[in-house]
Amino acid sequence: MKPQQITAIALASLGLACLGASPVVAADYVRLNYRGFSRRVPVALLAVLAETGESSGTLAGLLDQAGQGPDELRSALTRELPADPVMLDRSLNSRPGEWVLDYLGESIHTGTGVADRQALRSALVLSASGDRQITLLEVLQNYPTEEVVLEGDNIQSAMTRLADLLEPLSIFL
């Protein structure tokens, strides 16, 4: 079986599994906790920051309060990690993958603490499915809750841990 066929089957299975579920929800807001400050920021403002490098609204206010320029956050949002969605799904469903999800889940999680691992796994695989790469912005945009919590102080180390998991898998891309 060709890799494209395997990917198509996996994505179709994911779609069929979701048919009986409620409508797909994607995060509209990020509860951004950064250097002791916290704000509810629309995902759209993070997308503008990623695209233009400019922060505005509540995001600009939070970064000003925290004494942080937008460059570090923009870098984290746009860092591209190559990932095959099928291999990523398999890896994240293994013991080491669950450990990585738990570690990454300390920085990206639901506000309620319910189904953090499953929500993060879903967001990561969906992020990789379109272009075979993952960015933090895509993960936030694909997170299956209306609001996702992002611990900004820890995000660089969490993304590095994810990159460490993905690096050996990139051999197969």
Query: How far is it, in rounded angstroms, from Cα 142 to Cα 78?
Result: 15
Q: What is the pLDDT, as a whole number, of residue 39?
A: 93
Residue 150 belongs to what H/E stretch?
A: strand 147-151
Residue 136 lies inside a defined structural domain of this protein: yes
148 in Cβ contact with 127 (< 8 Å): no
Using a cut of 0.85, tell me whether the model's pTM lies above it: no
Q: Which residue has the tokens 């590095």?
A: 160
The pLDDT tens digits for 120-157 are: 999 999 999 989 999 999 999 999 999 999 998 888 88
87 in Cβ contact with 149 (< 8 Å): no
Q: Domain range for residue 97?
A: 30-172
Residue 20 lies inside a defined structural domain of this protein: no
Residue 134 lies inside a defined structural domain of this protein: yes
Query: How far is it, in rounded angstroms, from Cα 159 to Cα 106?
Result: 11
- DSSP annotation of 42 reads E
Q: Which residue has the tokens 């995902």?
A: 43
What is residue 110's three-state secondary structure? coil
Task: Summarize the confidence of residues 56-83 as an average pLDDT.
Answer: 91
Into how many domains does the chain fold? Answer: 1
Residue type, 147: E
Place 170 in a pLDDT band, splitting at 50, 70 and 90: low
Residue 10 lies inside a defined structural domain of this protein: no
Residue 42 lies inside a defined structural domain of this protein: yes
Residue 13 lies inside a defined structural domain of this protein: no
Q: Please list, in sequence order, all residues whose beta carbon lies within 8 angstroms of the beta carbon of residue 67, skipping any fewer than 6 positions away.
A: 35
Place 169 in a pLDDT band, splitting at 50, 70 and 90: low
Residue 89 lies inside a defined structural domain of this protein: yes
Count how many Cα atoms sit within 13 Å of the Cα of residue 39 in the half-sphere of its side chain. 19
Residue 128 lies inside a defined structural domain of this protein: yes
